[in-house]
Chains A and B, each alone.
Chain A
Amino acid sequence: MRSRRSRRARAARVILAAVAAVLAFAPVRGAAQRVPAPTAPSAARGSTPAALESLVVRLAAMTAVTGYEDAMADSLRALLPDARRDRAGNVVWTRGTGAPVRVAVCPLDEVGYVVGGVTAEGYLTLRRVGATPMGPLFDQWLEGQRVTVFGRSGAVPGVVLVRSTHLQRGRAAGADEPFSLESAYVDVGAASPTDVEALGVQLLAPVARTKRPTRYGARLVAAPFAAQRASCAALVEAVRRVPGSVSGTAIAVFAARRHFAHDGAAFALAELARGIPAGQAVFLGGALTSDSLGYGTLGLRGDSVTTGWGVQPMGAWDLPTRYVRSPVETIAVADVAALAERLASFLAGSR
């Protein structure tokens, strides 16, 4: 049993590390500092902007409802054959051994839905999955839009019904409240629960808006959770550029279940990087609300993840993002390239 004294000492170390993180990475959420990406040359030549854009679009087009991340994890393992899956469902890539340990964590999941029920007429009802507050309009983004139900026999297209505008004429206008999940009926073309079953759709099948990333402007990409997926693309890109030999240990974690208290990241940090200084741990996936995209500036701030062993202070490197937490959350590929550059240097031990 640990003594009270050692607990105090550990707590003091955590506090000191947190302070160091704040000093290293600037203010907390909401007051992010914009810092230009480093100009140090990377360990290896990176992808072309077009290739990086394709990787961003590829990841942004995927669905990984929190807790149901297998398909995304498999794709990441295909992109990084050296990576492995850990007990928490994270995809973990490691290079080198010993100290210092440097770890970058990018969540791979998203807030989404599962089938909560099937009506007698064959409509699906939904249950939201993920504890992260997503704002009052998150469910409204479903109304009248296409969704994909991930059934046991594959993806099943559907739509979330909306009241016919014609049939509302002459009715009381109502309170104009946002669309609620209680009104979400998914039509997959079935006429009965038996039809639904025949499609391979069962209770708990993951459901998400059908992903169709939009490329527009000067290499802008819009998609749900674009900042998070683009950050993971940057991490993939960075890992590919890390030289074969590094000082200490470089670790990349694509973490499961961010939207359930970061428990995938918490497990990985406790297992692989317990107690490392804040400057050696980076958390990705955040969105820095900004209208100025494409200038290669990142939002840097201090953050932390609570593991089973205590609080792990980390730096958070956020992508400038427009229309945060909407279906057209938008990032610039130029910013993703800057993030990849910075991450590659970090993992290689160049900074």
Chain B
Amino acid sequence: MTPRIGVRAAAVRRALGSCGLLIALAARPVLAQDAARMDEARDVLRQLVETYGVSGHEEAVRALVIRLLPPWTSPTVDSAGNVIVRFGHGAPLAVFVAHLDEIGFEVTRIRDDGRLELRTRGGFYPSLFEGEPALVHTAAGPVPGVFAVRDSAGSAARRTPPALRTDVGARTRAAAEALGIREGDAVTMPKAYVPLARTLATARSLDDRVGCAAQILALRHLDPRAVRREAIVIFSVREETGLEGARYAARVLAPEHPVRVHAVDTFVSSATPLDPQSFAVAPLGMGVVARAVDNGSVTPPLLVDSLRALARERHIPLQVGTTNGGNDGSVFTRWGVPDVPIGWPGLASHSPAEVLDLRDLLSLSDLIQAIVERW
């Protein structure tokens, strides 16, 4: 199968020529992955994507992650709510972090007319949620509703709607409360994992359930008895609202002097006709991406080179690029821990229509395993 590069190859060349970015596109197609591995990856990712976990409300997805981990792990949950898997013995200690949470909303007030006022959790375009189905995640279970539509768009309509509200069909505050709705409840759109053609798929919250899936798959496929170093795999909370879970973990782990931290997260790719082509060049299906520079971190060049050598040795397709956004690993650097974020190229970040190529999930999982075993 061919990656979708087409016209975007020109953008790659432009980026190389004018910006001097590090781009190491795999010279050959991704190695053929066997069907069983692809099926397993699809199954794990589907379960993760179809479970909800707005920032600060990660209970369900946290429980699922623990269920999906291999039996040999002994996961713990720290005071912040992060899931911690610790294994192996000896120095140097390596840390991996993928985040459990997803963007969404929280109920801030139940109005007298029964509608729910909301606040956003994470950054996204509210226009993508106006006029869409909604789910209010109450203690008694999800309550369906809709994100209300603005009263009148008029001839001078704006793309951005006024503050969004959720309508659950209740006409009074008491009626809404009778449905079990309380202030502080999480609100999302419904979501589902949908395969596209070839090995692509779409869903909301691929960011960062793909990272979680990659860590789970790596743990399933490595032999803990053969690991000659200690490693910690973290599934963090509240990344979208300020890297809060990772910040807590970094402080707790600082005395152990980890040699590196690897944030395992989305590499927001510009491989669409809509995004700027001057950076974030990482076509889908061309493999895991070393996120060398973003808004919150820069990877030491020697570590990028070393990572590239490791990937070459293990025949893992690796791209190197720069993108926007922050990552959980960046809060470790103030403790003297280098951040070497790795990710999967994804389109349409923080939207209901995020897109990935499953081959990149497998590459990401392979690279995590290689780092644990060899680097």
Q: Please list the residues of chain A having a beta carbon within 8 angstroms of any beta carbon in chain B.
A: 119-123, 135-137, 140-141, 143-146, 156-167, 169-171, 176-179, 183, 185, 187-192, 195, 199, 212, 214-218, 220, 222, 322-323, 326-328, 330
* Residue pair B158, A177 in contact (C-beta under 8 Å): yes
At the interface, is chain A mostly helix, strand, loop or mixed? loop
Number of interface residues of B (CB under 8 A): 64
Q: List the A residue with the shortest CB-CB distance to B6.
A: A121
Shortest distance between the CB of B369 and any CB in chain A (Å): 27
Most interface-central of B3, B197, B275, B324 (chain A CB within 10 A): B197
Report yes or no: A178 in contact with B158, Cβ–Cβ below 8 A. yes
B272 touches A191 (CB 8 A): no
Q: In the complex the two chains form, is A169's CB within 8 Å of B324's CB?
A: yes
CB pair A121 B4 closer than 8 Å = yes
Chain B, 140-184, CB within 8 A of any chain A CB:
143-149, 153-155, 157-160, 167-170
* With A157-B194, A161-B347, A178-B153 already in contact, 19 other A-B pairs whose C-beta atoms are closer than 8 Å: A119-B6, A119-B7, A122-B4, A136-B155, A163-B348, A165-B123, A166-B350, A167-B268, A167-B276, A178-B158, A179-B127, A191-B3, A192-B4, A195-B197, A212-B190, A216-B144, A216-B146, A326-B149, A328-B131
Closest A-chain residue to B144, C-beta based? A216
Chain A residue, CB-CB nearest to B350: A165
In the complex, the answer to whether A185 meets B273 with C-beta atoms within 8 Å is: yes
Query: Which secondary structure dominates where chain B touches chain A?
Result: loop
Smallest CB separation, B303 vs chain A (Å): 23
Cβ of B349 < 8 Å from any Cβ of A? yes
Task: Report yes or no: A169 in contact with B149, Cβ–Cβ below 8 A.
Answer: no
Does the CB pair A159–B157 fall under 8 Å? no
B8 within 8 A of A: yes
Indicate if B335 sits at the interface (CB-CB under 8 A). no
Contact A146 B6 (CB under 8 A): no
Query: What is the bound-complex CA distance between A199 and B197, given in angstroms?
Result: 8
A168 to chain B, nearest CB (A): 8
- A147 and B131 CA atoms in complex are apart in Å by 15
**Contact residue among A122, A164, A327 (Cβ-Cβ distance under 8 Å from B349):** A164
Partner of A144, one of B125, B147, B169, B196: B125
* Smallest Cβ-Cβ distance to A194: which chain B residue: B2
Contacts of A189 in B (CB 8 A): 195-201
Say how far B44's CB is from chain A's closest CB, in angstroms: 20
**Residue B47 is within 8 A (CB to CB) of chain A in the complex:** no
Top 8 nearest A-B pairs (CB, nearest first) are: A217-B169, A189-B196, A189-B197, A159-B353, A189-B200, A136-B157, A191-B4, A328-B146
Residues of A within 8 A of B169 (CB): 216-218, 220
Interface residue? B74 (CB, 8 A): no
On whether the beta carbons of A135 and B347 are closer than 8 Å, the reply is no
- A304–B258 alpha-carbon span in the complex (Å): 77
Q: Given contacts A159-B353, A220-B169, is CB(A164)–CB(B348) below 8 Å?
A: yes
Interface-central residue, A157, A159, A178, by most chain B CB under 10 Å: A159
8 pairs, A vs B, C-beta closer than 8 Å? A121-B8, A135-B157, A136-B157, A162-B125, A165-B125, A191-B198, A216-B143, A322-B167
B88 within 8 A of A: no
Q: Do B352 and A145 touch (CB < 8 A)?
A: yes
Task: Collect the chain B residues with CB atoms within 8 Å of residue A140's CB.
Answer: 127, 159
B149 contacts A328, C-beta separation under 8 Å:
yes
Q: How far is the CA of A214 from the CA of B168 in the complex (A)?
A: 11
- B199 contact set on A, CB distance < 8 A: 189
- Using Cβ atoms and an 8 Å threshold, which residues of chain B touch A171? 276
> Which B-chain residue is minimally distant from A218 (CB atoms)?
B169
- Asked if A222 contacts B197 (CB within 8 A), the reply is no
Considering only CB atoms, which chain B residue lies closest to A215 in the complex? B144
A176 touches B159 (CB 8 A): yes
- Of all chain B residues, the one with the shortest Cβ separation from A138 is B153
Given contacts A169-B324, A176-B159, A330-B146, contact A143 B131 (CB under 8 A): no
Contacting residues, chain B, for A185 (C-beta < 8 A): 272-274
User: Assuming A123-B273, A164-B270, is B157 touching A190 (CB within 8 A)?
Assistant: no
Residues of B within 8 A of A215 (CB): 144
B133 (CB) vs chain A CBs: closest residue: A214
> Given the known A-B contacts A146-B202, A176-B158, A328-B147, are A119 and B349 also in contact in the complex, defined by CB atoms under 8 Å?
no
Q: Mark B217-239, 1 if CB is under 8 A from A, else 0.
A: 00000000000000000000000
Question: Which residues of chain A are within 8 angstroms of B7 by Cβ–Cβ distance?
Answer: 119-121
Are B324 and A167 interface neighbours, CB within 8 A?
Answer: yes
CB proximity of A62 to chain B, nearest CB, Å: 17
Q: Which residues of B contact A158 (CB under 8 A)?
A: 196
Q: Known: A179-B127, A222-B133. Is A159-B355 also a contact (CB below 8 A)? A: yes
Q: From the candidates A122, A141, A162, name the one contacting B348 in the complex (CB within 8 A).
A: A162
Q: How far is the CB of B357 from chain A (nearest CB, A)?
A: 9
Closest partner residue, chain B, to A125 (CB atom):
B273
Shortest beta-carbon distance, B294 to chain A, in Å?
9
